[in-house]
């Protein structure tokens, strides 16, 4: 059985990265090794930002590992899952030579990171059967093998489609690509889905990496905290590729508070409220004039096709409601993505759309 680390760029396998002043585990009580200011900034009254932060605070990693059901050494924390995407592409794709596979319509950052690395993007579109989007994992495996791609990005629940890839399909894909590619399952919206996380597959499928984030269900987008979860040796490589002090101390402190006592019940309360509003908004939109289709969603947004998406977008905007125009994505030239808001916000969406095509 080949190790996931064999998929890392050959020229990076023994790359040590930058040795920051915090990476040596030295002990002392007079710290004069990092050229920080010896005097505090008056704005920093709690004295938490005078010094460089711990690159990967152990308490934070342990807390996140508990939250996501993995070991701390299987997890790297970074500036949102966007950074994890970028690290994976940089570590696994040779500049100007590598390739990744994506399944459009999907999240845009996979292609952005690949473009920045000079990696080719091979697209295997999701199949819209009229009711749902499906991922043809055998076609994805064929494309990955044919293009020698080292990364496959699945978004599940999918942004912007709102549908999930069944875990059995993820497992089959990972098995077919073992030793050839990593299967990255971006679970930014997993908290809104009824099915288990792909973290449960890590024990049997070493070439799976799962991305999670605090930006959506945890209501912490501004702290920029996301993680990649996978093979421990691969995580070590990703840490070496990461910028020296990725986690600002005030953000770590806020996350530790937010994930302190009973964090799950608070997140669950928010997601439960979101489920109710998601169902109510979907029902109302299905009845609205000018709406062609509302896709089922296991995320906190709805993908909606309109007779005239431009008219819907403009009407919402002039009522002060900003939604996401996804018409540039393949197969979605009549669609908008609408985040599930608070009840009064959803009422406004429903009222505008009921009026505009009536």
Ligand X SMILES: *Cc1c(COP(=O)(O)O)cnc(C)c1O
**Residue 82 Cβ, how far from ligand X at the closest point, in Å?**
3
**Residue 221 Cβ, how far from ligand X at the closest point, in Å?**
6
SS3 238: helix
Which residue, 81 or 197, is less far from ligand X as judged by CB?
81
**Residue 87 Cβ, how far from ligand X at the closest point, in Å?**
12
Q: 177, 99, 109: which is closest to 139 by C-alpha? A: 177
177, 205 Cβ separation under 8 angstroms: no
Cα–Cα distance for residue pair 357/346, rounded to 1 Å: 17
Residue 78 Rama label (left phi>0; alpha psi -120 to 50; beta): beta
In the block, tokens 């399909």 appear at: 169
Which residue, 206 or 226, is less far from ligand X as judged by CB?
226
Length of the chain: 358
In the block, tokens 């990696």 appear at: 119
Q: Is 145 exposed, middle or buried (0-12, 13-18, 19+ CB in 10 A)?
A: middle
Q: Which residues bind ligand X (CB under 6 A)?
A: 80-82, 107, 155, 159, 186, 188, 213, 215, 221, 226
CB neighbour list of residue 126: distance below 8 Å, 6 or more residues apart: 103, 104, 105, 106, 133, 134, 135, 158, 161
**Residue 225 Cβ, how far from ligand X at the closest point, in Å?**
7
**Residue 226 Cβ, how far from ligand X at the closest point, in Å?**
3
Which residue, 100 or 356, is less far from ligand X as judged by CB?
100
Which residue, 220 or 349, is less far from ligand X as judged by CB?
220
User: Which residue lies nearest ligand X, judged by its C-beta?
Assistant: 80
Which residue, 186 or 231, is less far from ligand X as judged by CB?
186
**Residue 185 Cβ, how far from ligand X at the closest point, in Å?**
10
**Residue 163 Cβ, how far from ligand X at the closest point, in Å?**
13
- Within 13 A of 65's CA, how many CA atoms are on the CB side? 16
Which residue, 188 or 349, is less far from ligand X as judged by CB?
188
Which residue, 7 or 223, is less far from ligand X as judged by CB?
223
218, 267 Cβ separation under 8 angstroms: yes
């Amino acid at each position: 059985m080949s190790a996931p680390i064999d998929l890392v760029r050959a020229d990076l396998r023994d790359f040590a990265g930058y040795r920051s002043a915090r990476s040596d585990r030295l002990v002392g009580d007079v710290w004069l090794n990092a050229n920080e200011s010896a005097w505090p900034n008056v704005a920093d009254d709690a004295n938490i930002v005078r010094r460089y932060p711990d690159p990967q605070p152990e308490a934070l990693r342990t807390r996140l590992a508990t939250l996501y059901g993995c070991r701390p050494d299987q997890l790297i924390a970074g500036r949102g899952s966007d950074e994890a995407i970028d690290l994976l592409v940089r570590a696994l794709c040779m500049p100007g030579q590598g390739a990744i596979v994506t399944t459009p319509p999907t999240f845009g950052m996979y292609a952005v990171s690949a473009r920045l690395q000079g990696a080719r993007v091979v697209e295997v579109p999701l199949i819209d059967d009229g009711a749902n989007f499906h991922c043809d994992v055998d076609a994805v495996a064929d494309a990955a093998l044919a293009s020698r791609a080292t990364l496959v990005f699945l978004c599940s629940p999918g942004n912007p489609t709102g549908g999930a890839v069944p875990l059995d399909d993820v497992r089959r894909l990972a098995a077919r690509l073992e030793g050839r590619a990593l299967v990255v399952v971006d679970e930014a919206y997993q908290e809104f889905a009824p099915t288990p996380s792909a973290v449960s597959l890590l024990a049997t499928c070493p070439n799976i990496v799962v991305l999670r984030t605090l930006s959506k269900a945890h209501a912490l987008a501004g702290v920029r905290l996301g993680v990649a979860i996978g093979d421990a040796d691969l995580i070590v490589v990703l840490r070496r590729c990461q910028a020296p002090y990725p986690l600002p101390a005030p953000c770590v402190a806020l996350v530790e508070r937010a994930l302190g006592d009973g964090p799950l019940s608070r997140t669950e309360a928010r997601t439960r409220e979101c489920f109710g509003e998601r169902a109510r908004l979907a029902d109302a939109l299905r009845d609205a004039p000018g709406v062609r289709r509302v896709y089922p969603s296991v995320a906190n947004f709805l993908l909606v096709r309109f007779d005239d998406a431009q008219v819907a977008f403009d009407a919402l905007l002039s009522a002060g409601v900003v939604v996401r125009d996804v018409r540039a994505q393949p197969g979605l030239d009549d669609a908008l993505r609408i985040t599930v808001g608070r009840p009064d916000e959803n009422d406004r969406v429903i009222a505008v759309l009921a009026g505009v095509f009536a």
